[in-house]
Amino acid sequence: MFANFLIGLREGLEAALVVGILVAYLVKTDRRELLPRIWLGVAVAVAISLGFGALLTYGPKGLSFEAQEAIGGTLSIVAVAFITWMIFWMARTARSLRGELESRLDVAVEAGGWSLVILALLAVGREGLETALFLWAGAQATGSSTDPLIGGVLGLATAVVLGVLIYRGALKLDLRKFFTWTGALLVIVAGGVLAYGIHDLQEAGILPGLDRLAFDVSEQIPPSSWYGTLLKGTINFSPATTWLEAVAWVLYVVPVLYFFFRTVNGPATPPREATASSAQLPVGGT
């Protein structure tokens, strides 16, 4: 549940910050009449994300075991790719996110019509689709359909509260540290999802080596024990791991963590076309 709480919290806070920046900029520039378009885009993005999650959950039903495992393994790997891209994107752009969004908002306002709706839909919808895909992959990995959902919902709810508090100026959160440490934790979680995806593809007969175990500590860490359940729910640890799973985990986690911390400690990406007024506007306040 913790891993999915972390997913919901991080992705939800990203979306909340994006919405907060867009809303604050419209308020500061005295364009409140455009706010309904932002909220319409957010609502459409949420609806699409929920529909995507339902499709992932109920779509594969009725297929053969091998087909379900093949779909599950492939989507798990796709989820890892998306979450990895998201982690690096935020590491590169977190410090210039406000200026970039406000620049795009100015362009959308000048374009008129549905441009603001589309801007909000794309900004929030990307986070929503990534969340739905990764929560589904987490549910597949843990074998539970309720715990990942509960964890994800709690994370999203917490993110909404934090987003509102940040917007109102009641909470001063070091976003750089927050996204750095949650990003590092998510790399570990994603490594577990990748290993599980590899296992699914092995069970589907697409990849070999299902009977070649790198280690089996099921007696020391029984899957049904509280600590086995805890490890499974947090980092997707499997007591019986094949060589292919273990190698994939190491080849993913080690280099990704290395390049992630290099990116975080590197120079900030400058905003593309931040306006002079936007550089002086805080996220919160009215």
The DSSP line for 220-253 is TS-TTSHHHHHHHHHH---SEEEHHHHHHHHHHH
- The pLDDT of residue 142: 63
Residue 159 near residue 34, CB atoms below 8 Å = no
Residue 183 structure tokens: 């990003």
Run of H or E residues at 56: helix 35-58
- The pLDDT of residue 267: 63
pTM of this prediction?
0.72
Residue 232 near residue 193, CB atoms below 8 Å = no
Residue 69 near residue 210, CB atoms below 8 Å = no
C-alpha to C-alpha distance for 83 and 193, rounded to whole angstroms:
11
Phi and psi dihedrals of 144, rounded to 5?
-125, 135
Amino acid at 239: P
C-alpha to C-alpha distance for 163 and 195, rounded to whole angstroms:
33
List the chain pLDDT tens, one digit each, 286 residues: 667 787 788 888 888 888 888 888 888 888 888 889 889 999 999 999 888 888 877 776 667 778 888 888 898 898 889 888 888 887 777 667 777 777 878 887 777 767 888 888 887 888 888 888 877 776 776 665 566 678 788 888 888 888 888 877 767 777 778 888 888 888 998 898 899 899 999 999 999 988 899 999 988 988 888 788 778 766 778 888 999 999 999 999 999 999 999 888 876 555 444 443 433 334 444 3
CA distances from 122 to 99, 118, 162 (A): 17, 6, 22
C-alpha to C-alpha distance for 201 and 73, rounded to whole angstroms:
5
- The pLDDT of residue 248: 95
- The pLDDT of residue 4: 75
Residue 200 near residue 208, CB atoms below 8 Å = no
User: Taking the domains of the chain in order of start, what are their residue ranges?
Assistant: 2-269
- The pLDDT of residue 60: 66
C-alpha to C-alpha distance for 97 and 14, rounded to whole angstroms:
10
